[in-house]
Structure 1
Amino acid sequence: MEIWAFWKESPGLPPRGPVGRAHPISKSEKPASSRERESRAKGREDKGKKIPQEGAGDGEIQKFDGAGYDKDLVEALERDIVSRNPSIHWDDIADLEEAKKLLREAVVLPMWMPDFFKGIRRPWKGVLMVGPPGTGKTMLAKAVATECGTTFFNVSSSTLTSKYRGESEKLVRLLFEMARFYAPTTIFIDEIDSICSRRGTSDEHEASRRVKSELLVQMDGVGGALENDDPSKMVMVLAATNFPWDIDEALRRRLEKRIYIPLPTAKGRAELLKINLREVEMDPDIHLEEIAEKIEGYSGADITNVCRDASLMAMRRRINGLTPEEIRALSKEELQMPVTKGDFELALKKISKSVSAADLEKYEKWMAEFGSA
């Protein structure tokens, strides 16, 4: 005699069979007892509760209880995403004074003045940083996390993508549950256009649409803790994109503050040159302000590449024509030669700017229509 029962699919695990398919249980197997059912129910109720680590004292970090989720998913997020205090400060970022000011108001000040940011003054629950590649959007996000003293989640499209059906949505849900657990938290979603592009297009896959819907639902629930006036439970979503015109309209609404991160100014370019070359010996004839004028239109990443290439020029001249044995025999002092003005001229001939004038015009047009800064 066989007893038929329906299996319930466990969250975070692949399906055990076709949906609705009954599985036989042999007569020798006993159905779950009431005690076992109570234990399972308690596990679901305890999901997300703070459990102290073994030997942990008061004030020490609590570990997220991932009951109800696949253990591998929880461990992956803990290991690869959570980063406490990135140690990037405002002074480590050249230029971008207006962006720093806006981010302080949107993210940092509510943590410092919780009594003021209430009611209509409640903090923004989402901030979008828009700008060309290499302008410092990721650095700004890490500076926000450092200044706030928050847990920092660095998320990309690969983080929230899984080959198993339904697992990507669970990753999104788990990410926000962990963020609320480790609050105050900053969730930085880089290249958000690759995760939440416009819905309803002909080439959109059903799985992609489900992930977008789950992300939008979770972002709608992020502001709840802030509206309850508990700054210690704040979860701030910071997002960055190089293609703001591809973002879904519903996501754009949830990212209430939209900030433009432009190319560096002449002063900013000079500051970036100083930061990149602070550990390199330079020829006295070099004037960084003159070089800064020549690299107008270069992004921060472009300027870093120019400095790196110029700093390698002297070494290339020194090892030219030497055998591998002679190169290995060179002392550190022989390679410590100053960077010259000619080195920068050669580097500028090799490295061009990566952002076109047409691209800049598109960013400015989008910000004029949808910007909120």
Structure 2
Amino acid sequence: MDLIAVTERREMQHFQHLEDDVREQLFLHAPRSFADSDERDLLAIALGATLYVPATRAGLADIVVKRASEGVSSMVLDLEDAVADHEVESARANAVDALDKIASTDAVGMLLFVRVREVADIHKVAASLTEGRAALTGFVIPKFGSESGPVFLDAVADASELLGKHLYAMPVLESPALVHRDTRDLELRTISGILAQHRERILAVRIGATDMCSTFGIRRDRDLTIYDVRVVVDVIADIVNYLGRADGSGFVITGPVWEYFADHERMFRPMLRATPFEEHDAVRFRQHLVSRDLDGLLREIALDRANGIQGKTVIHPSHVAAVNALSAVTHEEYHDALDILGADAGGVQASGYRNKMNEMKPHRNWAHQTALRAHVFGVTNKGITFVELLTALVDR
């Protein structure tokens, strides 16, 4: 097999679609490029907003290329819930055809995955690819559990050998055995052991909150975040507790999907404070975000980060800018992280911004993650907030 096309570095860069003068105005340190051959920990952070698209879509390769030109850096071609049962075979063939076409375009550097239904799909996709092996980053495994997980991961390893490149797996945690309180701890312990055995194969762990809600007949309202749904947030907390530890045993965990993107009659007040937008002469922009239900998404992204979660599944292109804009590292965060990482001993010192205390040992893991985010999402100039960055992304 000719491995040149597979091993050649194909790079992507967040916010590369912005004009150079805009990037210079926004960033102290611009985002650096990344490729699927980079270190796993860096690549997992680089996922950012991962856009799902049904693999049944006509012109699938053109859609991916268009999204790449609009700033999308990771996508999933979906064969599972987004596809009707009788369309699975045609969807799989469509996904393979799209990957083969994408391999000869600028979008080949995107982090591209196929979400399969069953183990056999992994082999069928890998065996059918020609040039498309250069475009494929890995597979998303739905309803990952203690019984099915090892078989799926072995299949991804086999596909890697077949294609001659390292393919990643992203398990989705969403099964009833995980959600139910009486079986959760045993399931999570077992899953933790399985993932540890395949550590270099696991890029990130994804949370399937829609299926979790379905277990209880719940559909989250657009006026609420997932963190208002207690039976689901309890599961998320346990997933982070078992799988998100910063002691070297954990994994990057990505946030669940926000499924709303259109106007609606609101029951509660908007979730975005007016002051940051007033200070930056962006009141009308705030109204636009609220009208598109993006205020709820922004709130949920902030809560994701507060709960140890990086990046997010998205199902609408308008959500990508919000997730990635809030992933950029602010000038203040960056300099706090530098101070912490630069300290040889413990202790505490005031932030350079004189508004908080930095504790050198307890904050070190945070500083390390912040440095990874800074590498792939950049560091904003002093005084630049998510308002300016999001405005630049949305106004293009």
Q: TM-score range by the shorter chain?
A: 0.3 to 0.5
* Structure of larger gyration radius: 1
TM-score (norm 2): 0.31
